[in-house]
Chain A
Amino acid sequence: MNRQTLLGWSFLSPALMAVVMFFLLPVILTVVFAFTNMSTSTGILGGEYQISESDLRRLPAAGVSNESVEMLAGAGYAVRPETLALFASDFGDERADELDALHGGAVFDDRRAIERALKDLRRDPIRSVRDRKAAAEMFRISILGQRYPTEAAFADAIADIGVPDADRAALTEAAYTGWTFTTQNFELLWELPATWRYAMNSVVYVVLTLAFNVSFGLFLAFSTFYLPTRTAQTFRAIWFLPRILPPVLYVLMWQWLTWDQGFISTILRPFGIEPINWMRHTATHAWTFIVLINGCVGASLGMILFSSSLRAIPETQLYAAQVDGANRWQQVRFVLLPQMRWPILFITSYQTLSLLTSFEYILLATDGGPGRQTEVWALAAYHTALSNYGGNLEYGLGAAYALALVIIGILLSALYLRFFNFRELVAKPRIEQ
């Protein structure tokens, strides 16, 4: 490797690092997460082993025999040095010593037996029923609710209470509280009717917003193209405002415009129209405003790109069209628009990609409402993984949602790269026009 190559790489390295950190790494992590059942309850680090009362019901389904379940539920009461020590601290050493002498090492199958043993202490029997119960509980050797940090510790514990070998593997798996690798996210996505609804919502959102963006961007570009330069610049600057405004503020203004005591309602009230929340009244209202909110941002990009490519068309072509007898509409239709094919295609493909993954304006405007009728795929991913009303954030499932977007995005990008043939786009211009 000579010095020039080295220099090239060193100049490239910041870009490469950015690609790795902000594209490659997130994609890889998304793929990994999508194949796990990570959620708030599993945590993102490793887990422990624990069987709780509530777990008992689902154990048979996980492949644990009823015998073992009963064993776990019933457990037993053992008189052992460690349980005796516990007992001694509350009920006195004398009683503990006597119990040790009478029943040391014994295991009682049910509570009544251990309670009887406690009642039958000769020197100082425990007479109060409540005390007896509390005391009996101290000898209990159930593993329910106990946390075992390692698999080995859990294995010892279930061996102790006599769970048969055949059930141990299934039980260990069921007891694990951390995350595991699984494909159930994708099965779930496939099965849930909501998934298909989100997909349809995304399609509606992308198609409508794109149509608005491109046509409105074209309209703005053409209308400012025929205006005097200064006026056109002012006009364009105004239309650029939505893009440079912070999204939260921008959407807040739309909210103010549309809420039931807002601008639209106030204006319409004298005409006898009942004030409603224009943004969230029905799904149609919501979609209209989502398209408008996103469209006004997106159209400005189209406007800038279309305007500059319009200005790149030699002026004499317009002169020629004029003396050829073309009126303004014919100039646009036959001379200008056909030469805008590439910028229009570029904006279309670029915005398809960015709209597919963008949800911030929907989040701020309707948050997927009313109901879930404007919940698009990307927003569903966000809600599932990061902002869930129930509080159980399902990182794994959310990542599975996101992975679908990543795959669509990469496929589309590859398609566009081929389609646009970038080498041809940057080809040297011919000297003689």
Chain B
Amino acid sequence: MQIKLQNFTKRFGDTTVIEDMSLSIASGEMIALLGPSGCGKSTTLFAISGIHRIDGGSLHFGDRDVTTLPPQDRPVGVVFQNYALYPHMSVAENIGFPLRVQKLNTAEIKRRVGEMAELVQIGNLLKRRPQQLSGGQQQRVALARALVRKPDVLLLDEPLANLDAKLRLEMRSEIRRLQRETGITAILVTHDQIEAMSMCDRIALMRDGQIEQISTPSEMYERPASHYVAGFLGNPPISFLKAEANGKLMLGAENSLPMPQGVDASGPITLGIRPEHFGPQHQGPTVTGRVSFIEPQGREDLIDVTLPDNQRLRAIVPAGHDFALGQDVNWQVDLSRTHLFNAEGNRL
């Protein structure tokens, strides 16, 4: 089911949270709404589910205008951050609830609940209460409940936020598997870039109620549209250097880099270099500085290099090197993979 959100505006009282936002999602696609808290991603999700009313704009599921439909009438399933399971019902009753309110007969409900429970692999827990389940199991119940109605759209609001690290990994692939198997159109709201990049076909990165960039995870990582996007994605994060463009990129008095190919700029700009594109193991022009911090990570070390003009670059260096704190180094930059942004923060 294709989803088309056009000129969407949402206000709470006098505060406009989202203004004039448009987003379109292809059928069977899984898209992430990624952004820091307060950027309006959950609000967008709640508007699509119908829980919050849309103050302006329109929402189409396929050809059907659902802008003013109440949530009960929208073909959506929602998984909430805290799962919102009904504590007084057993797992089977929780999963069967959407069917029960449709007044389906008991046998049919039982059959479909069983089916759903098998799909999310909790067939042996049907008699338990939510309190007797682990976080991951509750998560699966919530997924089953969201899917049992056979919705056209699956909405996931920070579904992994309450899980511990190991379960998070497991559920990440589990949710993706379910989405692929059912071929459902899905929207994942998250503040975690890894979740967004690993689970989704496309990412919509949001900032202050606006979509900053929407593209595939690799495209977004390799060609961030703005300073903000570049800074949001990547762990350890990208290093930004203030530079002066005048045919070359001047980094203070001592260092300079040639202009990357196909870029035309002059005056103050920002140069973004990801840690994996800087270090002794690369080919390219060099930058001189002094090692100011070493953080061992096992397979590799994170090394901070402070340039003479006090700007800092971070490098990922394979373990087994013999660099020491305070050592002067002259390391290469993979120039073709650096990012240049103008004063407004847009990509050059």
Taking a contact as CB atoms under 8 Å apart, the answer to whether A326 and B78 are in contact is no
Whether A392 sits at the interface, judged by CB under 8 Å, is no
- Which residues does chain B contribute within 8 Å of A270, judged by CB atoms? none
- Which residues does chain B contribute within 8 Å of A325, judged by CB atoms? 72, 98, 101-102, 149
Taking a contact as CB atoms under 8 Å apart, the answer to whether B51 and A319 are in contact is yes
Q: Answer whether A323 and B71 are a contact pair too, CB < 8 Å, given A316-B82, A338-B88, A432-B162.
A: yes
Minimal beta-carbon separation of A340 from chain B (angstroms): 10
B100-118 near A? 1/0 per residue, CB < 8 Å = 1110000000000000000
Taking a contact as CB atoms under 8 Å apart, the answer to whether A316 and B84 are in contact is yes
Q: Which of A322, A335, A341 contacts B51 (CB 8 A)?
A: A322
Q: Answer whether A323 and B101 are a contact pair too, CB < 8 Å, given A317-B86, A339-B88, A432-B162.
A: no
Roughly how many angstroms separate A430 CA and B138 CA in the complex, as a whole number? 14
Whether B131 sits at the interface, judged by CB under 8 Å, is yes
Whether A41 sits at the interface, judged by CB under 8 Å, is no
Taking a contact as CB atoms under 8 Å apart, the answer to whether A323 and B76 are in contact is yes
- Size range of the interface on B? 20 to 34
- With CB as the reference atom, state the residue of chain A lying closest to B70: A322
Taking a contact as CB atoms under 8 Å apart, the answer to whether B101 and A319 are in contact is no
Q: Answer whether A322 and B72 are a contact pair too, CB < 8 Å, given A334-B100, A430-B131.
A: yes
Roughly how many angstroms separate A327 CA and B101 CA in the complex, as a whole number? 8
Roughly how many angstroms separate A323 CA and B83 CA in the complex, as a whole number? 13
Roughly how many angstroms separate A321 CA and B86 CA in the complex, as a whole number? 9
- Which residues does chain B contribute within 8 Å of A316, judged by CB atoms? 80-82, 84
Taking a contact as CB atoms under 8 Å apart, the answer to whether A319 and B84 are in contact is yes
* Consensus secondary structure, chain A interface: helix
Whether A15 sits at the interface, judged by CB under 8 Å, is no
Whether B49 sits at the interface, judged by CB under 8 Å, is yes
Whether A324 sits at the interface, judged by CB under 8 Å, is yes
Whether B50 sits at the interface, judged by CB under 8 Å, is yes
Whether B228 sits at the interface, judged by CB under 8 Å, is no
Whether A320 sits at the interface, judged by CB under 8 Å, is yes
B268-306 near A? 1/0 per residue, CB < 8 Å = 000000000000000000000000000000000000000
Minimal beta-carbon separation of B44 from chain A (angstroms): 15
Roughly how many angstroms separate A341 CA and B89 CA in the complex, as a whole number? 13
Q: Answer whether A323 and B49 are a contact pair too, CB < 8 Å, given A330-B101, A430-B131, A432-B162.
A: yes
Minimal beta-carbon separation of B276 from chain A (angstroms): 36
Residues 262-321 (chain A) with a chain B CB within 8 angstroms: 314, 316-317, 319-321
Taking a contact as CB atoms under 8 Å apart, the answer to whether B84 and A317 are in contact is yes
Residues 44-89 (chain B) with a chain A CB within 8 angstroms: 46, 49-51, 70-72, 74, 76-78, 80-89
Whether A433 sits at the interface, judged by CB under 8 Å, is yes
Taking a contact as CB atoms under 8 Å apart, the answer to whether B149 and A319 are in contact is no
- Which residues does chain A contribute within 8 Å of B183, judged by CB atoms? none
- Which residues does chain A contribute within 8 Å of B101, judged by CB atoms? 324-327, 330, 334
Roughly how many angstroms separate A334 CA and B102 CA in the complex, as a whole number? 13
Taking a contact as CB atoms under 8 Å apart, the answer to whether B88 and A319 are in contact is no
Whether B97 sits at the interface, judged by CB under 8 Å, is yes
Residues 395-433 (chain A) with a chain B CB within 8 angstroms: 430, 432-433
Q: Which of B72, B74, B80, B162 contacts A326 (CB 8 A)?
A: B72
Taking a contact as CB atoms under 8 Å apart, the answer to whether A323 and B74 are in contact is yes
Taking a contact as CB atoms under 8 Å apart, the answer to whether A335 and B86 are in contact is yes
Minimal beta-carbon separation of B1 from chain A (angstroms): 15
Whether B28 sits at the interface, judged by CB under 8 Å, is no
Taking a contact as CB atoms under 8 Å apart, the answer to whether A319 and B102 are in contact is no
- With CB as the reference atom, state the residue of chain A lying closest to B97: A324
Minimal beta-carbon separation of A311 from chain B (angstroms): 16
Roughly how many angstroms separate A319 CA and B157 CA in the complex, as a whole number? 12
Roughly how many angstroms separate A380 CA and B149 CA in the complex, as a whole number? 61
- Which residues does chain A contribute within 8 Å of B84, judged by CB atoms? 314, 316-317, 319-320
Roughly how many angstroms separate A320 CA and B149 CA in the complex, as a whole number? 13
Whether B145 sits at the interface, judged by CB under 8 Å, is yes
Taking a contact as CB atoms under 8 Å apart, the answer to whether B102 and A323 are in contact is no
A327, A339, A341, A432 interface centre (most CB from chain B within 10 Å)? A432
Q: Answer whether A320 and B78 are a contact pair too, CB < 8 Å, given A430-B131, A432-B162.
A: yes
Taking a contact as CB atoms under 8 Å apart, the answer to whether A432 and B135 are in contact is yes
The 11 sampled A-B contact pairs (Cβ below 8 Å) are A319-B84, A320-B80, A320-B145, A322-B50, A323-B50, A323-B71, A325-B72, A327-B72, A327-B101, A338-B89, A433-B83
Interface residue ranges, B against A (CB under 8 Å): 46, 49-51, 70-72, 74, 76-78, 80-89, 97-98, 100-102, 131, 135, 145-146, 149, 162
Known: A320-B84, A320-B86, A325-B102. 12 other contacts (CB 8 A): A317-B86, A320-B85, A320-B145, A322-B50, A322-B70, A323-B49, A324-B101, A326-B101, A334-B100, A341-B88, A432-B162, A433-B83
Interface residue ranges, A against B (CB under 8 Å): 314, 316-317, 319-327, 330, 334-335, 338-339, 341, 430, 432-433
